[in-house]
């Protein structure tokens, strides 16, 4: 199976590349090959690399900056997603669109279901919601996978930020009234591959198409996530810090965050047979990968 993935340097793309092997080829298209913010028909670009499945993992992800760069966010996340899906339709291949919990307003305490009405709080969420609509309009042969709180051994993410700050600060204040499921890009990649194989194996099964929530199992707050990061880091001999819980009001940002990012993943399990590991287990894999990377780096310098 050949996956053609947008966003060459993204966390999910790099995780997909790490899974490549004899029965899985991953072709990543960077901005030089395909710019999501550009205009025009993208069919020829994708036709050149002969995809079995297209995965649109590229995105504008600067949540706060999107408030002042709304047009760019919509160009990439909204219209760009539509261009990818129209190319997939023209080539008669499935498209997997990576989306986000930010399409919801975060009200209540129950996990959001795929059938719940969206209501994004800011420009980023609105642009991703527009991308979902564009994909649905372009082709029925799609799987929209909403995930949350994504992190990986590489790139810019909450885990990397916490560990960096702990190098110089003994104590950190972290928001404790936002709930969700931290989800490792390593686990997301495995889920994407499983969904892609299902789409190819059952091309006429409508139940495998549509919107699905794909996050780690369990739930936590950012503060408790940080505490677990430091606990696991300390176990590897890494940086650690004391975490002080604060309310969202204590850490104002240009974009509002949904207080409830819990997503029900039952539909994905029932239809695709995919259920990601618990978030603590996902974190263990990422922390182990980071520790191994540091050991290899030290060995090469030695």
Q: What is the CATH number of the domain that holds 198?
A: 3.40.50.720
Do residues 161 and 229 lie in contact, with contact meaning Cβ atoms separated by under 8 Å?
no
| Burial grade of 133 (CB within 10 A; 0-12, 13-18, 19 or more) | middle
Residue 266 reports pLDDT greater than 80: yes
Out of 60, 124, 151, 251, the active site residue is 124
Residues of the chain with pLDDT > 70: what percent?
A: 97
pTM comes to: 0.95
How many other C-beta atoms are found inside a 10 Å radius of the C-beta of residue 184?
A: 30
pLDDT value for 300:
65
Q: At 297, is the pLDDT very low, low, confident or very high (cuts 50, 70, 90)?
A: low
Distance CA 127, CA 207 (A): 26
**For the residues 111-138, what does the mean pLDDT come to?**
98
Q: Answer yes or no: 151 catalytic.
A: no
CA distances from 239 to 45, 74, 146, 234, 251 (A): 44, 38, 31, 6, 23
**For the residues 52-69, what does the mean pLDDT come to?**
96
Residue 134 reports pLDDT greater than 90: yes
Residue 302 reports pLDDT greater than 80: no
Residue 236 reports pLDDT greater than 90: no
Retrieve residue 249's tokens: 């009001």
Residue 299 reports pLDDT greater than 70: no
Reported as type and span, the H/E element at residue 172 is strand 171-175
Do residues 57 and 7 lie in contact, with contact meaning Cβ atoms separated by under 8 Å?
yes
More reliable by pLDDT, 8 or 163? 163
More reliable by pLDDT, 73 or 236? 73
Q: At 173, is the pLDDT very low, low, confident or very high (cuts 50, 70, 90)?
A: very high
**For the residues 138-155, what does the mean pLDDT come to?**
97
Q: How many domains does the chain have?
A: 1
Q: Residue 175 region, left (φ>0) first, then alpha (ψ -120 to 50), else beta?
A: beta
Reported as type and span, the H/E element at residue 268 is helix 266-272
Residue 33 reports pLDDT greater than 70: yes
**For the residues 2-13, what does the mean pLDDT come to?**
95
Supply the range of the domain harboring residue 296.
2-301
């Amino acid at each position: 199976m050949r996956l053609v993935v947008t966003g060459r340097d993204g966390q999910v793309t790099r995780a997909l590349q790490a899974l490549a092997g004899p029965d899985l080829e991953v072709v990543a298209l960077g901005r030089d090959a395909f710019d999501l913010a550009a205009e025009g028909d993208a069919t020829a670009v994708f036709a050149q690399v002969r995809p079995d499945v297209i995965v649109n993992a590229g995105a504008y992800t600067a949540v706060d900056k999107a408030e002042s760069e709304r047009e760019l966010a919509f160009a990439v996340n909204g219209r760009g997603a539509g261009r990818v899906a129209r190319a997939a339709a023209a080539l008669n291949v499935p498209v997997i669109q990576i989306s986000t919990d930010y399409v919801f307003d975060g009200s209540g305490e129950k996990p959001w279901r795929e059938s719940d009405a969206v209501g994004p709080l800011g420009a980023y969420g609105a642009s991703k919601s527009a991308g979902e609509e564009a994909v649905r309009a372009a082709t029925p042969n799609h799987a929209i996978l909403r995930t949350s709180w994504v992190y990986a051994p590489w790139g810019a993410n909450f885990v990397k930020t916490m560990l960096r700050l702990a190098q110089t600060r003994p104590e950190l204040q972290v928001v404790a009234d936002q709930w969700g499921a931290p989800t490792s890009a390593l686990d997301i990649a495995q889920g994407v591959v499983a969904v892609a194989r299902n789409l190819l194996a059952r091309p006429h099964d409508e139940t495998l198409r549509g919107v699905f929530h794909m996050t780690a199992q369990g739930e936590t707050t950012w503060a408790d996530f940080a505490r677990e990061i430091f606990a696991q880091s300390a176990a590897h001999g890494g940086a650690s810090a004391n975490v002080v819980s604060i309310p969202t009001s204590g850490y104002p940002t240009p974009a509002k965050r949904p207080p409830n990012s819990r997503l029900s993943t039952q539909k994905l399990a029932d239809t695709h047979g995919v259920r990601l590991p618990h978030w603590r287990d996902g974190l263990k894999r990422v922390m182990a990968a980071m520790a191994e990377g540091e050991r290899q780096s030290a060995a090469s310098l030695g």
